A and B are shown apart, each in its own frame.
Chain A
Amino acid sequence: QVQLVESGGGVVQPGRSLRLSCAASGFTFSSYTMHWVRQAPGKGLEWVALISYDGRNTYYADSVKGRFTISRDNSKNTLSLQMNSLIVEDAAAYFCAKDGRPNTWFSSSLFDWGQGTLVTVSS
């Protein structure tokens, strides 16, 4: 079965960096577009970024563009999110999620989700 396990969360000061990872298993990772979605404490869901199945295309929310970088290593079945210049508003649980259809993007909902990793931004 599909498993997505996030790691790398923690407490970081404003202006610093953090790198999140998502280990994927149970499916052909290289065939699926992957996403990061975040949820601030007590708030709703906010899409952060996606990377196409082949890694050639990336898209970002305006709130993180220029600060965050999504990447993937299809040889290691791993998704990453490099977060630089963190601000208080970036504090949230970060979920990695998988598209429901292979070899496409912007045409599938998010079918499988990890349990999330918590990022706290505080001085």
Chain B
Amino acid sequence: DIVLTQSPGILSLSPGDRATLSCRASQSISSSYLAWYQQKPGQAPRVLIYRASTRATGIPDRFSGSGSGTDFTLSISRLEPEDFAVYYCQQYGSSPLTFGQGTKLEIK
């Protein structure tokens, strides 16, 4: 199984700051089949980025994804109040699909 390790566990920042979230895989992810999701309390997750760097429809361009192989990054250039949430990475190239444990982005 591919284990995804996200860091940091909690990230405390202020609106307007830049956020950098990391996702490291225990083995190379084929074809960069890695996605990032945002989840707010009481809501279902929402896909932000797929194929490591492609923004999903309707996602603001302040969200960007990068990386390949085993190291991936989600960046948020200028944090808006609505961006404070939990973020998960997920690999979907092989079974079992796996998620990282999440990074909570909280207001400082």
Which A residues are closer than 8 A to B by beta carbons? 35, 44-47, 50, 59-62, 95, 100, 106-111, 113-116
Contact = CB atoms under 8 A, between A and B. Distances in A.
A115 B102 contact: no
B99 A50 contact: no
A47 B96 contact: yes
A100 B48 CA distance: 12
Contact of B44 (A60, A62, A113): A113
Contacts of A50: 95, 97
Contact of A113 (B31, B33, B45, B97): B45
B21 to A, nearest CB: 14
Interface in B72-108: 88, 90, 92-102
Residue picked from B31, B56, B94, B96, most chain A C-beta under 10 Å: B96
Nearest to B57: A111
B35 A45 contact: no
Nearest to B99: A45
B64 to A, nearest CB: 16
Nearest to A112: B47
Contacts of B94: 106
A16 to B, nearest CB: 25
